[in-house]
Chain A
């Protein structure tokens, strides 16, 4: 049983479109995250939710909107996609927010904007 799952695994779309990536965790964790791995391979945090509340919102364009319908799900909606949004997006979850709360990552969603 996959602990953190993401759908879709691959997403190819045109500039200007709106798309969503879904994330689900079955670990019973309270905290969920979205990270972006850019072309330089750095993994950078975008958002973090704890018990459905937004707690970290890094400098991300407001075209990106996370939504947490419940503790087990954190979806990422992207409006008006741009070429620079092409990246691999990883969802993660952890029990708490502290450094010793191990973050478990999903397999990633590779987004390609044409």
Chain B
């Protein structure tokens, strides 16, 4: 039973356009969400996060939106750059309960940004 799902295995966008990566979760105990980025032959690196008390968090070109009622979050990258080409993982955690102290990951979305 996958509690965090990224239903788009891949996404291809043109340089300068917006990239939108989506993530859905099922566990209502999750209250902290993160996006990680992964290049080939490297480990995932933290990108941006959002607490469930917010619905938006912005860091430069990256913005994460959270819709708690829909149990959905998205990552927007504007403008997209070729260096953004990587696998993006959505992850969820919680301040308490059985999800405390660990990240539950989605299966990732491969983003390709074409020059």
Contact = CB atoms under 8 A, between A and B. Distances in A.
Interface in A1-53: 4, 31, 33, 35, 40-45, 48
A88 to B, nearest CB: 9
Contacts of A80: none
Interface residues of B, number: 26
Contacts of A107: 41-43
Contacts of A44: 105
Interface residues of A, number: 27
Nearest to B2: A42
Contacts of A105: 36, 43-45
A43 B32 CA distance: 17
Nearest to A105: B43
B6 to A, nearest CB: 9
Contacts of A66: none
Interface in B21-61: 31-32, 34, 36, 41-46, 49
Interface of A: 4, 31, 33, 35, 40-45, 48, 55-56, 58, 90, 92, 97-100, 102-108
25 contacts: A4-B43, A42-B2, A42-B105, A43-B44, A43-B103, A45-B104, A48-B101, A55-B101, A90-B43, A90-B44, A92-B43, A97-B101, A99-B49, A99-B93, A99-B95, A99-B100, A102-B46, A103-B46, A105-B43, A105-B44, A105-B45, A106-B43, A107-B42, A107-B43, A108-B43
